[in-house]
Structure 1
Amino acid sequence: MPYITGEQHAPDTTVPPLAPPDPPPADPAQPRGCLFALSQPPLMLFLTVIGVLLLIAGVHDQFLL
């Protein structure tokens, strides 16, 4: 037995949703976000060391076990 909601039809969904407001213009004096942080040498060195350790562990598991 179908559930009766009292409505005769589904709600009208043809109305387009409201667009979000435009973001404010970027101020060049403000510091950059995460992509700028990836260009920093200490972070890249750390990520390189972690990547090499993962590569060594993977090669060890794949070929030496």
Structure 2
Amino acid sequence: MKKIKITQVKSAIDRPADQKQTLVALGLKKLNASREVVATPQILGMVRKVEHLLKVEEI
């Protein structure tokens, strides 16, 4: 499977609760935190929901 690297580049302050929970579900708890995840349809849906807060790179 294809992997992607996601990095949180904007704060979750003043965002709706569902967006904050999505960031936590992706494993991002702090600003500039990064994770490498497998690009499943479920993960890509979560990334799409908060893409304005993230930087996404293909590995």
TM > 0.5 between the two? no
Higher strand share: 2
Normalised to the residue count of structure 2, the TM-score between the two structures is 0.26
Quick one: higher RCO (CA 8 Å, sep 6+), 1 or 2? 2
Normalised to the residue count of structure 1, the TM-score between the two structures is 0.24
